Homo-oligomer: A and B are copies of this chain.
Amino acid sequence: MSLFQVQDPASEARVRKTLANQQAMTTMGISLAKIEPGVVELQMPYDERFSQQNGFLHGGVVSAGLDTACGLASYTLMPANADVLTVEFKINLLAPAKGQMFRFVGSVVKPGRTLVVSEGRAFASDGGNEKMIATMSATMMTMVSRS
């Protein structure tokens, strides 16, 4: 049972397809872990190719994961003919992205016809212990195609 009303019954398939079409996510090894109305969770195993100067996951990659999680969470609530666009986001990096596995969770805070506000939380699993490493707040826009 979800807090939010889905407009498009095929919403989940649409989200999966959009994610599959984001080559950046495939290249970074970011994949879908969970999806429900208003919530999307992505996961990513550590990959040295996306590290910063101390060997941890680059903050920009954490941002990319959270941005996509927030965007897709918002997208679950949009109508069938819509595309989703990031208007803006803010991220606070709470701790170094140190670990073997990362989770990016996006949740809708306030749906809307034009704008959807969502929040994200990133977690790192390091030797079995999971820790919150970042928080995001984001505004997404519904783009309805005219065709």
**Cβ B67 vs Cβ A59 within 8 A:** yes
State the CA gap A63–B89 with chains docked (Å).
Answer: 10
With an 8 A cutoff between CB atoms, is A10 at the interface? Answer: no
Does A2 make an interface contact (CB < 8 A)? Answer: no
Q: Kindly supply a per-residue 1/0 record for chain A positions 62-77, scoring 1 wherever the CB is within 8 Å of any chain B CB and 0 otherwise.
A: 0111011000000000
Partner of A89, one of B49, B65, B87, B90: B90
Q: Give the size of the chain A interface in residues (CB under 8 angstroms).
A: 46
Would A88 and B92 be within 8 Å (CB), given that A49-B27, A60-B64 are in contact?
Answer: yes
CB contacts under 8 Å to B, within A108-146, are 109-110, 114-115, 117, 119, 132, 135, 137, 139, 141
Residues of B within 8 A of A24 (CB): 49-52, 58, 60-61
In the complex, how many angstroms separate the beta carbon of A6 from the nearest chain B beta carbon? 20
Q: A53-B18, A58-B64, A114-B114 are in contact. Are A109 and B94 (CB under 8 A)?
A: yes
**A93, CB-defined interface residue at 8 Å:** yes
Contacts of A68 in B (CB 8 A): 58, 60
Interface centre among A22, A52, A61 (most CB of B within 10 A): A52
Q: A19's closest neighbor in chain B, by CB?
A: B53
Given A24-B60, A60-B60, A132-B110, the answer on whether A92 and B83 have CB atoms closer than 8 Å is: no
